[in-house]
Amino acid sequence: MAQLSNRITTLNSGGSDGWEVFYRAQKMAADGVDVTHLTIGEHDIGTAPQILDFMHKSARGGHTGYAAVPGTNSLRQTIASRVSHRSGQDTRPAHVMVTPGGQAGLFAAHMALCNPGDTALHIEPYYATYPGTIRAASAKPVALPTRARDAFLPDPIRLRDLATETGARTLLINSPNNPTGTVYPRATLEAIAEICIDLDMWLISDEVYDTQIWEGEHLSPRALPGMAERTLTIGSMSKSHAMTGSRIGWIIGPDEAVSALIDLATTTTYGVPGFLQDAAEFALNQGTPLEDEVAAPFRRRRALALEVLAGQDTVTAIPSQGAMYLMLDIRKTGLSGRAFAEALLDAHHIAVMPGESFGPSGAGHLRVALTVDDDALRDALTILCAFAKEHCQ
């Protein structure tokens, strides 16, 4: 066949990234093996019935044709009001574009900000799609490594040096963070803002876990002085409202950037189905009680997990202030995250993600998703810790 484009054939860097553990666990489950899945960030509850009822009502009512490409006026207004309230930064509908999920927002943001060959920085460990998303925009992904002893927070001095050395055009951050659960404190975000302003960089802030804060508070960097005009913020209904399959997200940014993003959407997604937008608007209008209800199981399971881990000294948790995951340090076993995850799956049919799946900084760690019921999580973590202890002997 004729050759495919370099853009598409170089999306992935090649080689193993550890996701084979996830795929093997899926196959085992399909073959009838009882596997405990602690891998991906998928809620163990469905979308709330009242949201689905409203979605059905909207579709049956005829909102199944083309919808406004940037999003319906009412949904954009609802998102703008929510962001204004949560961030303290004035946000208007013209600052909002609705996207088919947060992932589409990440792609559109890099397409809007990066020229072919530009360097786009991101923090490691990172959400697995980040490097490929940057390559899809014909930019060059460059990761800033972080350290477990720093709770995987970026070092501002190293970040400034890397940005200067590479002439980076953008920086992508994620707080609360997937996979680590780290919430960036004000001092870190202020240092990042200073670097972006000094070096004339754009900041892309992935805030899809902003309703899952267990300690401290979430600060959107767009609200910091001088950052509204150089920040694109990514939001989503997926984690906050258990609407992963509905594919509703958004980008918040300056008017001029949003206008350009609308042009991009016109030639790619051509908007998001109207009945899904109506359901998202309905869900957002339920306010924090519904968001708190969706987040509550993860807050409870985090406490449960830390209680299990406190009963032993082989596996330690990276301090987690948010998101639906725990990052576990298993380096005392002498095994890599990949080797440990493979062995745990073979021996006990418990599936976790190797830390290496999220970049080299995650080596010797595991990401555990808090996405099974409390008893199953307690049992799985108890077995995991005992398994780790066996490999220390």
- Residue 379 is which amino acid? D
* Rg of the chain in Å (alpha carbons): 21
Q: Which of 261, 286, 311 is the last residue of a domain?
A: 286
Same domain, 119 and 90: yes
The residue with greater pLDDT, 12 or 101, is 101
Same domain, 279 and 161: yes
Q: Assess whether pLDDT exceeds 90 at residue 18.
A: no
What's the rounded mean pLDDT across residues 338-366? 97
Q: Is residue 54 part of a domain?
A: no
pLDDT at 10: 87
Each residue of 206-240: pLDDT tens digit?
Answer: 999 999 999 999 999 999 999 999 999 999 999 99
**How far apart (Å, rounded) are the C-alpha atoms in residues 238 and 251?**
14
Lowest mean pLDDT among 13-27, 246-260, 298-312, 330-344: 13-27
Same domain, 276 and 294: no
Full residue range of the structural domain in which residue 90 is found: 65-286
**How far apart (Å, rounded) are the C-alpha atoms in residues 134 and 109?**
10
CATH number for the domain including 200? Answer: 3.40.640.10
Each residue of 328-349: pLDDT tens digit?
Answer: 999 999 999 999 999 999 999 9
Calculate what percentage of the chain has a pLDDT beyond 70.
98
What's the rounded mean pLDDT across residues 136-157? 97
178 pLDDT tier (thresholds 50, 70, 90): very high
14 pLDDT tier (thresholds 50, 70, 90): low
Same domain, 256 and 295: no
Q: Assess whether pLDDT exceeds 70 at residue 17.
A: no
Residue 150 DSSP symbol: G
Q: Assess whether pLDDT exceeds 90 at residue 19.
A: no
Q: 249 near 238, Cβ under 8 Å?
A: yes
Same domain, 198 and 85: yes
Q: Which of 286, 318, 353 is the last residue of a domain?
A: 286
pLDDT at 1: 86
pLDDT averaged over the chain? 96
pLDDT at 15: 59
Report the run of H or E that residue 311 belongs to, with start and end.
none
Same domain, 308 and 257: no
Per-position DSSP letters for 65-119, written without gaps between them: S---TT--HHHHHHHHHHHHHHH-S---GGGEEEESSHHHHHHHHHHHH--TT-E
Same domain, 216 and 233: yes
Q: Is residue 220 part of a domain?
A: yes
CATH number for the domain including 325? Answer: 3.90.1150.10
pLDDT at 166: 98
pLDDT at 16: 58
The total number of structural domains in the chain stands at 2
Q: What are phi and psi of 121, to 5 degrees?
A: -85, 150
12 pLDDT tier (thresholds 50, 70, 90): confident
Same domain, 189 and 126: yes
Calculate what percentage of the chain has a pLDDT beyond 90.
95
Report the run of H or E that residue 364 belongs to, with start and end.
none
Q: Which of 234, 262, 286 is the last residue of a domain?
A: 286
Same domain, 242 and 357: no
What's the rounded mean pLDDT across residues 3-32? 86
Q: Is residue 177 part of a domain?
A: yes
What's the rounded mean pLDDT across residues 284-313? 97
Same domain, 303 and 271: no
Q: Assess whether pLDDT exceeds 90 at residue 61.
A: yes
What's the rounded mean pLDDT across residues 107-124? 98
The whole-model pTM stands at: 0.96
Per-position DSSP letters for 160-209, written without gaps between them: HHHHHHHT-SEEEEESS-TTT-----HHHHHHHHHHHHHTT-EEEEE-TT
**How far apart (Å, rounded) are the C-alpha atoms in residues 209 and 155?**
22
